[in-house]
């Protein structure tokens, strides 16, 4: 039987989502917890991998198990075995044709930048930081050049393993919220470090160091070497994927 989970996590203490032998990962923690509940090894497939230090509000995964456990047992039992920085929010059985990655039609990220003379202390793991003011309106206007299907090579890390650099960016917004600048991005999928590289290129525009059409120039130039730096991981949250309503998943991860 196939099950779908919604998972929230603080990525600060992990080397990213994907399990490997080099240290603590979110996938490793989730698989170990579910294996304890199932009493057999469990492999999970996620909707989108996150890097070291990146958080998730609702990562969606699927796994297969014939162990006779209720959704509540998977959720509550799994949470008793997970570190405090990872929580299963919901669990439900789902059709065997569901695939957490391939069934997703969109993914959403949010990036927050604190604007003040002093860097954050209490929220240092959840905010990026800029000393000087940023013009959020200018950043928003410039970012609209990225909407649509394009070759995003200018915002792709050299380590990216994607087969091609084309992605369809559905929406991007930049707004000021008190002492923060908030950037929301939705696309069909993302390249490695794509959101952080976009943010790193928007910041010089917000400072007034680059013109409004710079993002358009970078997009057309397709040269990562002339784009802005990769923004810090701390400000980034994977809000979650979006699926067609036919899968019957919770509203927070459904289209429409």
Here the tokens at position 215 are: 């993002």
| Domains of the chain and CATH, by start | 2-103 (3.30.70.580), 106-238 (3.30.70.660)
> Catalytic residue numbers?
51
How far, in Å, CA of 39 to CA of 101, rounded? Answer: 25
User: Among residues 120, 139, 143, which one has the least CA distance to residue 131?
Assistant: 120
Residue given tokens 């994607």 in the structure block? 162
User: Among residues 154, 157, 137, which one has the least CA distance to residue 224?
Assistant: 154
Show pLDDT as tens, one digit a residue, over the chain (256 residues): 999 999 999 999 999 999 887 789 999 999 999 999 999 999 999 999 999 999 999 999 999 999 999 999 999 999 999 999 999 999 999 999 999 999 999 999 999 999 999 999 999 999 999 999 999 999 999 999 999 999 999 999 888 878 899 999 999 999 999 999 999 999 999 999 999 999 999 999 999 999 999 999 999 999 999 999 999 999 999 999 999 999 999 999 999 7
Rg (the chain; Cα; Å): 19
Half-sphere exposure of 103 (CA within 13 A, CB side): 23
């Amino acid at each position: 039987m196939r099950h779908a989970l919604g998972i929230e996590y603080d990525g600060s203490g992990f080397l990213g989502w994907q399990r490997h032998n080099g240290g603590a990962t979110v996938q490793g923690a989730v698989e170990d917890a579910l294996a304890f509940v199932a009493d057999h090894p469990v492999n999970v497939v996620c909707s989108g991998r996150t890097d070291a230090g990146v958080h998730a509000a609702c990562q969606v995964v699927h796994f297969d198990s014939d162990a006779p456990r209720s959704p509540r047992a998977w959720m509550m039992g799994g949470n008793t075995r997970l570190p405090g920085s990872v929580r299963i929010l919901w669990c439900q059985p789902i059709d065997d044709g569901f695939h957490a990655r391939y069934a997703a039609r969109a993914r959403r990220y949010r990036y927050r930048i604190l604007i003040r003379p002093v860097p954050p202390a209490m929220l240092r793991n959840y905010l990026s930081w800029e000393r000087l003011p940023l013009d959020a309106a200018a950043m928003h206007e410039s970012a609209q050049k990225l909407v649509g299907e394009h070759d995003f090579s200018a915002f792709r890390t050299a380590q990216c393993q994607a087969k091609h650099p084309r992605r369809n960016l559905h929406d991007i917004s930049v707004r000021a919220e008190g002492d923060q600048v908030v950037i929301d991005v939705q696309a069909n999928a993302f390249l490695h470090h794509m959101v952080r590289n976009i943010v790193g290129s928007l910041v010089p525009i917000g400072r007034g160091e680059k013109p409004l059409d710079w993002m358009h120039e970078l997009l057309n130039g397709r040269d990562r070497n002339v784009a802005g730096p990769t923004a810090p991981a701390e400000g980034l949250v994977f809000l979650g994927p979006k699926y067609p309503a036919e899968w019957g998943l919770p509203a927070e991860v459904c289209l429409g």
